[in-house]
Amino acid sequence: MNINANTRSLVLAAIAPLSMANAKLELPRVFGDDMVVQRDKPARVWGWGDKGDSITVEFAGQSKNTTVGDDGKWQLALESMPANATPRVLQVKGGKDSLAFKNVLVGDVWLCSGQSNMESAAGGIVNSDLDMPLSNIPAIRCLTIPLRSSPVPLDNFPTEERNPFYEELKGVWRVSSPDAAKDFPAVGYHFARIVNAITGVPIGLIDNSWGGSVVETWVSPEALAQIPEALPLIKAFDAEAAAYDHPAELARKMGGWKQQAAKAEAAGKPTPPKPEVPESYVHRQSFPGGCFNGLVAPLQKFAIKGVLFYQGENNCVASQGRPNLYLKTFPALIPDWRRAFADPELPFCIVQLCSFGEPDDENEPERNMLHKASGVREAQLNAHLQHKNTGIVPTFDLGHVQMHSPFKRPIGERAARWALATVYQIKDITYDLPIMTSWKKDGPRILITFTPGSHPSSPYGMRVPPKGFVIAGSDRHFHPASVTHEKDDTFAVSSALVPDPVAVRYAWGVHPAGNFGNRAGPTPPFRTDDWPAWTDSPIERNGPEKPGPGVPTRETAEAQARDRKAAAARKLLEDLDAVPGKQSKRK
């Protein structure tokens, strides 16, 4: 990725911790009062100071020493410690200065990342008025990182610059209380609440989520450059940054402002404020590698327990809807972050894309399956199956008409169930999510087998027919299907309109009607075929979206729907004809 030298200098200067000419003892802002230090791992402590100064770090009965290097940097590691909910002081002493971080606990630190559905605050969801009065939990803390996308890796994050109100919200650790917890990420808070209550381990949340971010911004530039399909995207953004022209951009926006001002004046309304145009290119939350550089790199020396990652909306809608690319980039994120945090087995919880928009009609599958949301969910499930020590938390059953579902508490609780069962290995807590493991054709049926011992069903058992299953023959036309229990964790899927089936899909759409699962959650959406399903939005701005070979379109979906309804009508008439006495009456 090409980085303009001036841009690099401006970015580094904006977050530079100190001047080498007048260095003072300083630590990155991830260290602070009320913080949580990761248990059972060596805890790195690092910072800046005067060249040659002796540095001493004291905490929990340990005292470690090092010397500031020629580059003004220093680093040491405290030995691993068990969990401890007793507040203590982390003392750092330099040649002339000393720092004391108070009320520090030792526990588990979970990184809460992704986009706006992770960013959604605990005080703004369903039943938050019941939850927040109970949030006085001193063993839960949260640090929300000020948002910054960068073309180069940063070693610190800035203080919040927008206004004094946010100074208290971002860039500092906060102890859970009714006043503070309302700003914590809702999924993270309810995850922490359950895990802390059951284990007794203090929980620190670090929230670096950014609404509107795409997955490509969370992958490091080095890892992204190894994905051939991502190279055109990288090239396009590099060209956009290199071509940024402040005078031209200012003239363009001023032209629009003058038109708005003239309309306002003619209508007797106040003149709108003049636009502000930055002097240099602003790296947004869509810039490839930008959020990794600005929001992950500053944290990667800080030991953590694991990651909760909830993202995907912007990768399946509008001009950034590229599920085929997502199938390549999302699975690369997990090993990339494990390398960054120097933990090849770092627990990683994938919160699957939630439903949004009007609920799908289960009897009209053709149009439902065109949406790119299914591609994002497929990539997330594939990544879970590909990488060990990961969890998948389906959420499509908790959707809403708008993209930000207010039903966040169950998501946090499902993630907590995964962690308690697999990471903490708490006795009698299971996370046996029913995932499709195999399938085979059986005459006019397809037999689907799920995770052994998961015992999936529809609500209230199989007395309520499962919804969301569709089945297709070689014509690739999917019809609503019926499901019956075969034995153990195997189920038979069939349709009278598909006598020779070759493929099954489940909960395939943006807001699907699937109701099959168990107490751990719904069965993740799946398909048994690998047929072309989506066309990625073009990289070039306002470029035409041309359907790829074999990809269904709205026109083909509508034609299939007409054919399905006609076939269903013919089958109904045939069935009526087979009933004695019915044929003559119909004629």
For the chain, how are helix, strand and coil distributed in percent, rounded to 5?
35, 20, 45
- Phi, psi at residue 200, to the nearest 5°? 80, 0
- Does this model's pTM top 0.75? My answer is yes
CA nearest neighbour of 86 among 57, 58, 60: 60
pLDDT at 578: 84
Query: CA-to-CA distance for 248 and 274, rounded, in angstroms?
Result: 15
pLDDT for 161: 52
Phi, psi at 194, each rounded to 5°? -70, -45
Which residue numbers in the chain have pLDDT < 50?
A: 5-6, 8-10, 13-14, 18-21, 162-163, 166-168, 584, 587
User: What is the 3-class SS of 138-181, one letter each residue?
Assistant: CCEEEEECCCCCCCCCCCCCCCCCCCHHHHHHCCCEEECCCCCH
User: Cα(first)–Cα(last) distance of the chain, in Å?
Assistant: 73
Question: How far is Cα 77 from Cα 46, in angstroms, rounded to an integer?
Answer: 8
CB 74 within 8 A of CB 55: yes
C-beta separation of 323 from 375 below 8 A: yes
Distance of CA 490 to the CA centre of its chain: 31
pLDDT for residue 576? 85
pLDDT of residue 582: 62
Tell me if 483 sits within 8 A of 469, measured CB to CB. yes
pLDDT at 580: 79
Closest CA to 515 of 460, 472, 450: 460
Strand partners, 351: 310, 393
Per DSSP, the residues of 230-260 read: GHHHHHHHHHHHHT--HHHHHHHHHHHHHHH
- Supply the pLDDT for residue 68: 97
Q: Is 420 left (phi over 0), alpha (psi -120 to 50) or beta?
A: alpha
Per-domain residue ranges of the chain: 12-22+113-228+285-423, 436-519, 554-586
| CA-based torsion, 405, 336, 242, 237: positive or negative | negative
Residue 166: which residues within 8 A CB-CB, separation 6 or more? Answer: 146, 160
- Residue 188: name the closest of 54, 82, 308, 353 by CA: 308
pLDDT value of residue 3 = 55
**462 vs 179: CA distance, rounded Å:** 45
DSSP structural state of residue 121: B
Check: CB of residue 149 under 8 Å from CB of residue 293. Answer: yes
pLDDT of residue 168: 45
Q: Right CATH number for 12-22+113-228+285-423 from 3.40.50.720, 3.40.50.1110, 3.40.50.880, 3.10.310.10?
A: 3.40.50.1110
Helix/strand/coil for 13: helix
